Structure 1
Amino acid sequence: MYDKMAKDGDNGWKEYVWNPRTREFLGRTASSWGLILLFYLVFYIFLAGMFCLTMYVMLQTLDDHKPKWQDRLSTPVQCLRVLTPSPLSLTGMVIRPKADEYYEITYNTQKTESWDMYAQTLDKFLSRKSGLFTSKSLLGEVKNNPKRSCQFNRTILEDCSGINDRYYGYQDGKPCIIIKLNRVIGMLPGKDGQAPFVTCGAKVNYSQPLVAVKFLNITTNEDVNIECRINANNIPTGSIRDKWAGRVSFKLRINTI
């Protein structure tokens, strides 16, 4: 009795996989399987077509040089200030080498390990900036060629280029600080008064200009508060909503004992 039931069970399983009488495979005939496969084929082709169509329509609304939707960006200075949460900002400046979370640069000229990391950071930063546009840029002015941008050459930073002094003056207590303006979409440079200003048009491979500051006669063994501002008539500074817009503030301390 048990053998008969086991045999019937085996036959039932085998007939479910392939029934020679009805010529069904897994309970379906060839025409049934064909209709199901055809349905899913048409269904997934339709889904793929809808996806491609929506992607195509969306890409037609995008600009190659700026995002479609924009929002205000946090000022980098405030992003690093843990104790003082930042408001939203339009324009921010950053410095290199990067300071600590309190935006302080402190080192001792007698201890190489305290300032060597700053020199290495500057060297990596400038090496990356110089090598990025070697094959995509030209020296001098670039006219009627939107695919080329003005070449950044670190030699224009003179004493802060790291070419003649690979320690960027840190070992002598005359450190270099690189100031960089964040990219702001839609902002064009403009001068205010008689101060010198930088004129750059938006181009592919554009690299925002850098300003190098070398401190020659800074007071040692005490904190020195330093603030740098952007001098432009289209960048607000001293805003009540965001006091860090258009400027950067940091603390520098050089110990000699």
Structure 2
Amino acid sequence: MAEKTVEQYYLPPPKVGRWEGFRTFLWNSETHQFLGRTGASWAKILLFYVLFYASLTGFFFAMLAIFYQTIDLDIPKWQLDESLIGSNPGLGFRPMPPEENVESTLIWYNQKDDNWKYWTNQLDVFLKEYTEENPNRVHCDFGEEAPPGKICDVDITSFHNCTSATEFGYARAQPCIFLKLNKIFNWRPTYYNATSGVAEGMPKELKSLVHNVTNADSRKDYVWVSCEGENPADVENMGDLEYIPAQGFASYYFPFRNTKGYLSPLVAIRFVRPKTGVLINIECKAWAKNIFHDRAERRGSVHFELMVD
């Protein structure tokens, strides 16, 4: 006689309220489940994620360690033409306008008010590292370059009328603007001098200076600097200029090799008698055979405006 088959039917769970269902989800005393999982299930999934993220962290630090083996923190891997910044340095000027006018290049102040102190304070901050003691700095001169591991000092006290003691000339309506050549690792200038010739676009006065300075027995090479008004009216309103301590950056400051404490060489431009109450557009250029000028991209040059009321 065939056994009678007993059919079993699925019984839906009893209907419970939302609050009671939520409490059961948090902790089910019948199945000993917390948030729908037993303790063993939670332990397994926790162990999985601990191992998973530990592996990811270990892999990341291993790749980071391998990456740091391929670079030198003091010497860039890509240099000169192979680098993003290339081998054509630009010029920078100080002091800079306030940060809220980040795109402005206007140096404006009223001689009779104290607002010129903003500009002198900016220069004091900029020149602070030049006045700090550093045993790594040595005196350099032409034929006396810094030994390995040392850097050439920039003597701010030799800037005469362009020092903090003279308020950088701002109180006397004879403001000083400092120029610096942007640093490019291992870049060596190719100099204009009496032997190699001068550039066609050089101002007449600078051409004469290059021949006079470099015709001496002990030749003094510079990355030369010239500043001119951009328009005929600017040339007239700008007046005479004084370049301090020289009209260029001395050759013994190059090349830049990221030696600790390195100071960029500076040239101070003192406006002797700028016309007051007018805006003066000025362009300064650096001159070396391997510096090329592009006014649109400001390659090898810098533009700023000066207005003294």
What is the TM-score of this pair, normalised by structure 2? 0.58
Q: Greater shift after overlay, 42-51 or 28-37?
A: 28-37
In 2, the alpha carbon distance for the partners of 1:27 and 1:169 equals 79
In 2, the alpha carbon distance for the partners of 1:187 and 1:95 equals 20
Structure 2 CA distance for partners of 1:27 and 1:117, relative to 1, 3 Å: closer
Query: Residue 184 of structure 2 aligns with which residue?
Result: 184
Q: For 1:45, what is the secondary structure of its paired residue? A: helix
Give, as a single letter, the amino acid of the residue that structure 2 aligns with 1:140. Answer: H
Structure 1 residue 230: deviation in Å? 0.7
Q: For 1:177, what is the secondary structure of its paired residue? A: strand
Structure 1 residue 47: deviation in Å? 0.8
Matching residue within 283, 288, 292 for 1:232: 288
Structure 2 CA distance for partners of 1:215 and 1:15, relative to 1, 3 Å: closer
Alignment of 1:137-152 (within 5 A): 137-140=136-139, 142-145=146-149, 148-152=150-154
Give, as a single letter, the amino acid of the residue that structure 2 aligns with 1:62. Answer: I
Query: Residue 80 of structure 1 aligns with which residue?
Result: none
Cα deviation digits, residues 79-118 of structure 1 (max 9, x gap): xxxxxxxxxx953212212257563434443x12342322
Alignment of 1:41-52 (within 5 A): 41-52=50-61
CA contact (8 A) 2:90 2:298 kept: yes
2:107 is the alignment partner of 1:105? yes
Query: Residue 247 of structure 1 aligns with which residue?
Result: 301
Query: Residue 81 of structure 1 aligns with which residue?
Result: none
Structure 2 CA distance for partners of 1:34 and 1:90, relative to 1, 3 Å: same
Q: For 1:168, what is the secondary structure of its paired residue? A: helix
Structure 2 CA distance for partners of 1:67 and 1:130, relative to 1, 3 Å: farther
In 2, the alpha carbon distance for the partners of 1:135 and 1:143 equals 15
Structure 2 CA distance for partners of 1:205 and 1:129, relative to 1, 3 Å: same
2:93 is the alignment partner of 1:92? no
Percent of paired sites with the same residue = 29
Structure 1 residue 191: deviation in Å? 1.8
Cα deviation digits, residues 39-79 of structure 1 (max 9, x gap): 22221111111111222232233331337695349xxxxxx
- Is there any run of 5+ residues in structure 2 with no aligned partner, and where? 1-14, 141-145, 195-209, 211-220, 223-249
- Is there any run of 5+ residues in structure 1 with no aligned partner, and where? 74-88
Cα deviation digits, residues 143-173 of structure 1 (max 9, x gap): 232xx533444223232121x31x2112222
What is the TM-score of this pair, normalised by structure 1? 0.68
Alignment of 1:108-257 (within 5 A): 108-109=110-111, 111-131=112-132, 134-135=133-134, 137-140=136-139, 142-145=146-149, 148-162=150-164, 164-165=165-166, 167-194=167-194, 195=210, 196-197=221-222, 198=250, 199=252, 200-201=254-255, 202=257, 203-220=259-276, 222-237=278-293, 239=294, 242=296, 244-255=298-309
Over the residues paired in the alignment, what is the CA RMSD in angstroms?
3.7
Cα deviation digits, residues 192-229 of structure 1 (max 9, x gap): 22444223231233232111122224445555443321
Query: Residue 44 of structure 2 aligns with which residue?
Result: 35
In 2, the alpha carbon distance for the partners of 1:56 and 1:62 equals 11
Structure 1 residue 126: deviation in Å? 1.4
Q: Greater shift after overlay, 220-229 or 190-199?
A: 220-229
In 2, the alpha carbon distance for the partners of 1:251 and 1:39 equals 65
2:18 is the alignment partner of 1:17? no
Q: How many residues align?
A: 226
Q: For 1:124, what is the secondary structure of its paired residue? A: helix
CA contact (8 A) 1:136 1:205 kept: no
